[in-house]
Structure 1
Amino acid sequence: MSTNKKTAPPSQPRYLWLRKCLLNDIMQGKYPVGSLLPAENELTSIYGVSRHTVREASRKLADDGLISRHPGIGTIVCSRKEKPVYVAALGSLPELFEYTHTTRVEVHKSSNIVADAALADALECEEGSEWVELTARRYARGKDIPISYTRIYLRPEFSGIRERLRGNHPSIYSMLEEVYGQTIHTVRQEIAASLLSAPAARLLGLKPRGPALHLKRSYLDKSDRLLAVSSNLYPAGRFELRTSWTRGGKRKDA
């Protein structure tokens, strides 16, 4: 086995980088299902990381059902397919509210912008209207792997929401209602196949142009005025959307 050390990018925690390296090796068949991963001391040498980093990366892989650790035997590869980081059913408003309450966003950039023709078309808003744009990563609560690259657009009068997006914060939906008294009358949701943009890939620690699910939600008041928009890119393997139907209606299936 090669002992050429690989180097973790400085922008990413080392255990997440190592988890990704080992996951790629498993998926590409370097470590087949049923085989043993290299011992802890071998992994520290191959990747130039500490034992703590190896243990944390292994713990994440075990949590995802990819490996299992057996004292006296070693670490066995159990599967080549990782469980999605987050599984959601978004076929109704109650399911959407549940989703927004069990995820959080981590804002990386904020700017005040004016909608040009392209953005007005994308948001379905007035050209020349002013917005606060937030660039963020979305996480499932209690998880440290981001599930999406998210851009949030808020009317300037709701800019105070930006300061409230810290820790396990309330949903933007609830803040619009509870902080600003804006009742959400309609939520429009659009889902489309997409590719990871370069900015999204950088923030998620992935390669650009990988497969992704684009999910856009628009929040409107009773007069059909657009209040906020959430545009999310979910890379493959980190998010799964499930919906099922029965005669007479639709029911939750996740």
Structure 2
Amino acid sequence: MPREAEPRYRAIAADLAAKIHTGHYPAGSALPAQRELSAAYGVTLMTLRQALRQLSDEGLIVQQAGRGTFVSPPHLAYRLGSLRSLADDLREQGHEVRTAVVSCGAGEPPAPVAAHVGSPALRLERVREFAGHAAVHQVSWVRLAPQLLDVDFTRVALYAALADIGVAVARASETIRPDVLSGDSSRYLGEPAGTPVFVSDRVTYTLDGTAVVADRAVILGRAMEIRAERAATGLSMTWAGALDATASLGPVS
């Protein structure tokens, strides 16, 4: 019996996927309008939309109501087992990361933070940009050392700056939870309030158990995927509830 012809929408999806993978349509770019694509492929809008639905299911595109269809941006892997700076971790993955410092100076932290790192403390507020877009808004409170006030944190990672003054980080306790964007984070990340995000709260310690950093990172949900290495022995995550996970592993300083 002759082979049944491949559905037209699948062939269109395969062609568009190939163009995405080869960079014809770069990550984050807009695809042509649906009517333009349907005319180019000589199919109805219904057939084209089947192809786009397949690409969406595969995570290759994102359809935004009223705006159009966009190639999905590449994802940053947030590695729970890493105790390195975010920038170093992402450079190893082949990504370019730009750090913008919003503010840096001594201040009075909130009482729960002061209980960890003392008061006054260094308040370091940063925005991490990836693939040309802001992806992480991070506020770090650091046990105050005068030498840190002169560090250029656009170029130097916080952990590296601590190491330079003889403070070696040894471990971190971290909680990651889903939330929605609000307040200053919405402004700095350029996304509307209510956008899905991950919120990381963590405390970093030295070898002797002294807390040196307490910070919060707000991470755009669509920009990150969280990865963890699991072993047959040893607890890597404790589940706090039906939808909440608490991780006691690596931070993103």
TM-score range, shorter chain: 0.5 to 0.7
Q: How far 1:232 moved relative to its partner?
A: 0.4
Equivalences for residues 46-195 of structure 1 within 5 A: 62-64=26-28, 67=31, 73=40, 79=56, 80-81=61-62, 82-93=72-83, 98-99=88-89, 103-115=97-109, 119-122=110-113, 124-125=115-116, 129-140=119-130, 143-157=131-145, 160=148, 163-166=151-154, 169-177=155-163, 179-195=164-180
- Alignment partner of 1:211 is 2:196: yes
Paired residues, what number?
A: 184
Whole-Å Cα distance in 2 between the matches of residues 245 and 152 of structure 1? Answer: 28
RMSD: 3.8
Q: Distance in 2 between matches of 1:199 and 1:89?
A: 25
Q: Per the alignment, do residues 123 and 63 of structure 1 end up closer, same or farther by CA in structure 2, a change over 3 Å counting?
A: farther
Q: Percent identity?
A: 15
Q: Report runs of 4+ in structure 1 exceeding 6 Å deviation.
A: 94-97
Supply the distance in 1 between the matched residues of 2:146 and 2:204 (Cα, whole angstroms). 13
TM-score (norm 2): 0.58
Q: Which runs of 5 or more structure 2 residues have no equivalent in the other structure?
A: 1-11, 14-22, 42-47, 63-71, 237-253
Structure 1 unaligned spans of 5+: 1-32, 35-58
Matched with 2:209 is 224
8 Å contact 2:171–2:206 — kept in the other structure? yes
Q: Distance in 1 between matches of 2:196 and 2:174?
A: 20
* Shift in Å, 1:190: 1.7
Q: Distance in 1 between matches of 2:82 and 2:88?
A: 10
How far did 1:100 drift? Answer: 6.8
Counterpart of 1:51 in structure 2 is none
Q: Aligned pair in 2 of structure 1 residues 160, 244: CA closer, same or farther (>3 Å)?
A: closer
Aligned mates of 1:162, 1:242 — CA distance in 2: 34
Which protein has the larger Cα radius of gyration, Structure 1 or Structure 2?
Answer: 2
Q: Distance in 1 between matches of 2:177 and 2:84?
A: 22
Alpha-carbon spacing, 1:176–1:111, altered in 2? closer, same or farther (3 Å): closer
- Structure 1 CA distance for aligned equivalents of residues 32 and 82 of structure 2: 37
